[in-house]
C-alpha cells in the first residue's frame, strides 16, 4: 500500500489515531515494532496493550476524567467504544479486562480495509505525513532521531507499576468486599479491602521503608550519556508506595491506604487503614493493589506485601517495577493542533507529548488522527476550546513553562475559572465540577458545529445495540457496566 499517512506506534494513541484517519478515508500505515522489538513493559504483541493499571479513570460525568470521556464519546472515540465493550466492575471508574480490550482493538484495526498494520520498528521520521505515537518507551533509534530533529534535550524520568495478585490467594476471612460509601456496580462492592489496625499499619510502614529496592543500573547509562533524569523524579500521581511512605508515617494513611467510606463487616468498625484490590480481568481471577506501584525487589515485595492482613498467602501474578518515561519538550516543539512547529505534516500524540494517563493518550490520538485527515483534505485543523478538557490539555502542554515542563493528566485545575454566579457565590465543589462539565459540553458542541465536524463510526455500534436490548430486558442489578 502507498499510504497517505504513517502512524508510528500501535499503542493507545496510535491505534486511535490510525482509526480516526482511516475512517476519514486516508490509507494508513500503522507501524508497531512489537513483537520483533520488545519495550520492557509490554507483555504481548497486541495493539493498545495496557501496561499497568486496568483502570481508565473515573466515568462519572462531573470528574475530570469523566468530562474527558464525555468529550471523547461525542467525538466518536474508537478506543473508548472498545473499552466500554470490555469493561469490568470498578465503581465509578471505567476499568477493562486488559486482554479482551487489546484483543478487540487489534481485531478491529487489522480488519479495517484502509489500515495496514506493519510489524516493524521505525528509526527515522518519514518523508511524508506522519503521527509519532511511540509512547513513553520509544525505541532508542527513533528517540535519538527526534532529539536531533527537534533540537534541545529529551526529558526522561521514572514511573512505577503496581503488583497483581491471584484472587484465590486472598484470605476472604480477613479481606472484605465493599466500595467506598457503598457506591459501586456490584451489590456487595467492587473492591476487596484488606483492613489494618494502627499497630499493623505502623509495622507495615516501618518494613516498607527499610525494604530493599531494585538498583536503577539499567537507567544509569542514559543518565551518564547526558539525559536529564534522576532517581528522585516520578509522576506525582504514580509515586512508588515506598517513596510515599518515606514522606511521613501518616502519608499512606491519608493517601492510597485511606479508609474513608469503609466499614469492616467483621468488626463493625472503620479500619485504621486499608489496601484496596481492584479486579483486573473479566474472569475475576486477578486483582491489582490500587496505588501500590513499587520498586522493591521481588523477594521484598513478597515479604512486605504479605504483612498486609488478607495477603498473608498472596500469590503474585505480576510484581511491581519502575520504568522509563520519554516525552518531548512540547511547549518548545508542538502546536495545540498537535502539529510539530517545524513541520506541519508531522503530528505527535500520546504520552510522548507530555499528556499523561491512558484517556489523555487516547484523546490526543483522536485529535491527531482527525487533524491529519483535515490537513490532507485541505480543511481547517481543530484547536479545541480551552474550556474543554482535551482543549485544556493540548493548551497546557504547548504553553507550559518549557524549562520546567512535566507531564500532566486531565484535571479541573487546567480549565479557565468559571464566571461567578449573579449572587457572587462560588458554590460547593460538586456544583463547580458540574458547571465545568456543562460548560465543556456546551462549548465543544458549539465549536464542533461551527467547524462542520462529523464524528465517524467508532466501531462499537452493534455492541451498543445489543447492550441496549439487554438493558431493556435485565433487572438493574445485573446490567453491564459502562452504560
Ligand X SMILES: Cc1cc2nc3c(=O)[nH]c(=O)nc-3n(C[C@H](O)[C@H](O)[C@H](O)COP(=O)(O)OP(=O)(O)OC[C@H]3O[C@@H](n4cnc5c(N)ncnc54)[C@H](O)[C@@H]3O)c2cc1C
Q: Applying CB under 6 A, which residues contact ligand X?
A: 8-14, 31-34, 39, 41-42, 51-53, 121-122, 133-139, 142, 159, 161, 323, 350-352, 357-358, 361
First to last CA, the chain: 38
Cell of residue 304, nine digits: 512486605
The residue with cell 490500587 is 290
Alpha-carbon distances, residue 242 vs 103, 193, 294, 416 (angstroms): 34, 20, 7, 35
Query: In whole angstroms, how close is the CB of 46 to ligand X at the nearest point?
Result: 9
Smallest distance from the beta carbon of 185 to ligand X, in angstroms?
21
CB of 145 to ligand X, least distance (A): 9
Q: CB of 308 within 8 A of CB of 274?
A: no
For ligand X, the closer CB: 28 or 139: 139
Q: Which one, 135 or 459, has the nearer CB to ligand X? A: 135
The CA distance from 277 to 325, in Å, is 26
Closer CB to ligand X, residue 124 or residue 452? 124
Nearer residue to ligand X within complex by CB, 119 or 303: 119
Kind plus residue range of the DSSP H or E element containing 317:
strand 316-318
- Smallest gap from Cβ 71 to ligand X, in A, equals 17
CA-CA distance, 358 to 361, in Å (whole number)? 5
Q: Kind and range of the H or E element at 463?
A: helix 461-473
- For residues 350 and 133, the answer to whether their CB atoms sit within 8 Å is yes
> Distance (Å, rounded) from C-alpha 283 to C-alpha 51?
19
State in angstroms the smallest separation of the CB of 80 from ligand X.
14
Give the Cα-Cα-Cα angle 474, 480, 481 (nearest 5 degrees). 145
CB of 52 to ligand X, least distance (A): 3
Q: How far is the CB of 40 from ligand X (least distance, A)?
A: 8
Minimum CB distance to ligand X smaller for 237 or for 387? 237
Q: Which is nearer to ligand X, 385 or 407 (CB)?
A: 407
Nearer to ligand X, 137 or 397 (CB): 137
* 3-class DSSP assignment, residue 199: helix
DSSP of 261-305: T--BTTTTB--SEEEEEEE-STTS-EEEETT----B-HHHHHHHH
Residue 4 vs 32, nearer CB to ligand X: 32
Which residue number places its CB atom closest to ligand X?
Answer: 11
Contact 45, 77 (CB under 8 A): no
- Identify which of residues 161 and 394 has a Cβ nearer to ligand X in the complex: 161
Q: What are the grid coordinates assigned to 207, written together?
A: 518494613
CA distance 318 to 321: 9
Q: What is the DSSP-derived secondary structure letter of residue 350?
A: S
Q: How far is the CB of 371 from ligand X (least distance, A)?
A: 16
Residue 112 near residue 78, CB atoms below 8 Å: no
Residue 475 Cβ vs ligand X, minimum distance, rounded to whole Å = 33
Amino acid at each position: 500500500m502507498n499510504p497517505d499517512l504513517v502512524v508510528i506506534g500501535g499503542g493507545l494513541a496510535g491505534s486511535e489515531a490510525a482509526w480516526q484517519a482511516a475512517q476519514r478515508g486516508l490509507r494508513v500505515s500503522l507501524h508497531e515494532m512489537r513483537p520483533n522489538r520488545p519495550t520492557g513493559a509490554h507483555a504481548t504483541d497486541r495493539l493498545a496493550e495496557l501496561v499497568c493499571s486496568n483502570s481508565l479513570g473515573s466515568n462519572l460525568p462531573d470528574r475530570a476524567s469523566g468530562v474527558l470521556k464525555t468529550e471523547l464519546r461525542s467525538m466518536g472515540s474508537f478506543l473508548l467504544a472498545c473499552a466500554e465493550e470490555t469493561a469490568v466492575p470498578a465503581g465509578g471508574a471505567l476499568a477493562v479486562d486488559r486482554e479482551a480490550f487489546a484483543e478487540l482493538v487489534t481485531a478491529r484495526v487489522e480488519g479495517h480495509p484502509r489500515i495496514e498494520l506493519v510489524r516493524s520498528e521505525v528509526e527515522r521520521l518519514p518523508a511524508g505525513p506522519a503521527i509519532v505515537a511511540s509512547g513513553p518507551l520509544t525505541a532508542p533509534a527513533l528517540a535519538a532521531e527526534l532529539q536531533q530533529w527537534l533540537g534541545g534535550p529529551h526529558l526522561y524520568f521514572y514511573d512505577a507499576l503496581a503488583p497483581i495478585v491471584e484472587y484465590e490467594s486472598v484470605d476472604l476471612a480477613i479481606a472484605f468486599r465493599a466500595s467506598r460509601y457503598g457506591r459501586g456496580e456490584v451489590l456487595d462492592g467492587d473492591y476487596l479491602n484488606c483492613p489494618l489496625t494502627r499497630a499493623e499499619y505502623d509495622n507495615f510502614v516501618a518494613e516498607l521503608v527499610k525494604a530493599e529496592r531494585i538498583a536503577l543500573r539499567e537507567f544509569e547509562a542514559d543518565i551518564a550519556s547526558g539525559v536529564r533524569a534522576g532517581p528522585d523524579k516520578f509522576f506525582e500521581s504514580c509515586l512508588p508506595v515506598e517513596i510515599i511512605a518515606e514522606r511521613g508515617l501518616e502519608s499512606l494513611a491519608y493517601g492510597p491506604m485511606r479508609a474513608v467510606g469503609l466499614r469492616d463487616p467483621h468488626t463493625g468498625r472503620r479500619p485504621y487503614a486499608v489496601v484496596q484490590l481492584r479486579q483486573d480481568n473479566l474472569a475475576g481471577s486477578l486483582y491489582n493493589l490500587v496505588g501500590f506501584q513499587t520498586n522493591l525487589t521481588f523477594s521484598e515485595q513478597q515479604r512486605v506485601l504479605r504483612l498486609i492482613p488478607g495477603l498473608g498467602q498472596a500469590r503474585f501474578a505480576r510484581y511491581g517495577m519502575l520504568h522509563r518515561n520519554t516525552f518531548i519538550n512540547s511547549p518548545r516543539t508542538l502546536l495545540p493542533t498537535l502539529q510539530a512547529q517545524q513541520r506541519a505534516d508531522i503530528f505527535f500524540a500520546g504520552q510522548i507529548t507530555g499528556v499523561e494517563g491512558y484517556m489523555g493518550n487516547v484523546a490526543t490520538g483522536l485529535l491527531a488522527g482527525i487533524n491529519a485527515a483535515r490537513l490532507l483534505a485541505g480543511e481547517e485543523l481543530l484547536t479545541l476550546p480551552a474550556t474543554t478538557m482535551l482543549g485544556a490539555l493540548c493548551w497546557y502542554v504547548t504553553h507550559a513553562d518549557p524549562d520546567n515542563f512535566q507531564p500532566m493528566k486531565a484535571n479541573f485545575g487546567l480549565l479557565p475559572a468559571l464566571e461567578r454566579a449573579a449572587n457572587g457565590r462560588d458554590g460547593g465543589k460538586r456544583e463547580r465540577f458540574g458547571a465545568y462539565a456543562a460548560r465543556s459540553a456546551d462549548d465543544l458542541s458549539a465549536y464542533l458545529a461551527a467547524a462542520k465536524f462529523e464524528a465517524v463510526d467508532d466501531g462499537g455500534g452493534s455492541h451498543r445495540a445489543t447492550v441496549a436490548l439487554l438493558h431493556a430486558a435485565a433487572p438493574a442489578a445485573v446490567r453491564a457496566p459502562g452504560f
